[in-house]
Chain A
Amino acid sequence: DGGITQSPKYLFRKEGQNVTLSCEQNLNHDAMYWYRQDPGQGLRLIYYSQIVNDFQKGDIAEGYSVSREKKESFPLTVTSAQKNPTAFYLCASSGDGRYGYTFGSGTRLTVV
């Protein structure tokens, strides 16, 4: 079955460490996105990529980095520069924005 897979489901990070969240899709979608969701709040766009080897900053890109070397993969690195990294991170993909996004099941990151 086609879908979008995020791993790990839960991640604990010590302060000062960088961590990388994985996102893989086999839907043949061109566009991929990373969102962050804090408790009781909406989704905020971190980065997005509409084509391989190209990506754009979203509304809250500071402290994050991404790469898009393959169509299927769009990993997100949460760097030590991100002041408040504890959140629920959601990856999504889209073949055509007319039909909405497909989301992965998310990664819950906690800084300890």
Chain B
Amino acid sequence: RKEVEQDPGPFNVPEGATVAFNCTYSNSASQSFFWYRQDCRKEPKLLMSVYSSGNEDGRFTAQLNRASQYISLLIRDSKLSDSATYLCVVNTGFQKLVFGTGTRLLVSP
């Protein structure tokens, strides 16, 4: 079983739609969690950290469920510029992050 698993997609949604991605992780001792965004042929960039109580940043909401070992990202009112690959990332300890393979999102006009 992979340490971090994501649905590769692509998720094709129209502008203005709400879309959600889930990610599961296998190490119950994982300490911190993140969502990164990666544009085509570019480096990943930190989108947001994921806190136990859930957190929101504008149109983006992240949730963590430790009991079920999954993380989610909700994007409301999708924009064309949201088209990218979203990477689920887990800190398993000792400053070592494990990356999921990413979920591709395509937002169309």
Chain A residues proximal to chain B, CB less than 8 Å: 31, 35, 41-43, 45, 48, 50, 88, 90, 94, 96-106, 108
Contact yes or no, B43 A106, CB < 8 A: yes
| A106 contact set on B, CB distance < 8 A | 42-43
Q: Which residue of chain B has its CB nearest to the CB of A104?
A: B43
Q: Can you list 24 A-B pairs, Cβ within 8 angstroms, ordered by A?
A: A42-B99, A42-B102, A43-B87, A43-B99, A45-B96, A50-B94, A50-B95, A88-B41, A94-B97, A96-B95, A97-B93, A97-B95, A97-B97, A98-B31, A100-B46, A100-B49, A100-B89, A100-B97, A101-B97, A103-B43, A103-B44, A105-B42, A105-B43, A106-B42
| B99 contact set on A, CB distance < 8 A | 35, 42-43
| A105 contact set on B, CB distance < 8 A | 42-43
- Does B34 touch A at the CB level, under 8 Å? yes
Shortest Cβ distance from residue A44 to the other chain B in the assembled complex, whole angstroms: 9
A96 and B46 CA atoms in complex are apart in Å by: 14
**SS of B interface (majority):** strand
A104 and B96 CA atoms in complex are apart in Å by: 17
Proximity bits, B3-38, A CB within 8 Å = 1, else 0: 000000000000000000000000000011010100
Shortest Cβ distance from residue B90 to the other chain A in the assembled complex, whole angstroms: 10
Shortest Cβ distance from residue A112 to the other chain B in the assembled complex, whole angstroms: 19
Q: Which residue of chain A has its CB nearest to the CB of B91?
A: A97
- Does B45 touch A at the CB level, under 8 Å? yes
| A104 contact set on B, CB distance < 8 A | 43
Shortest Cβ distance from residue A101 to the other chain B in the assembled complex, whole angstroms: 6
Proximity bits, B41-57, A CB within 8 Å = 1, else 0: 11111100100000000
Contact yes or no, A103 B45, CB < 8 A: yes
B65-109 with Cβ < 8 A to chain A = 87, 89, 91, 93-97, 99-102
Q: Which residue of chain A has its CB nearest to the CB of B35?
A: A100
A41 and B89 CA atoms in complex are apart in Å by: 14
**Per a CB cutoff under 8 Å, which of B32, B41, B42, B100 touches A98?**
B32
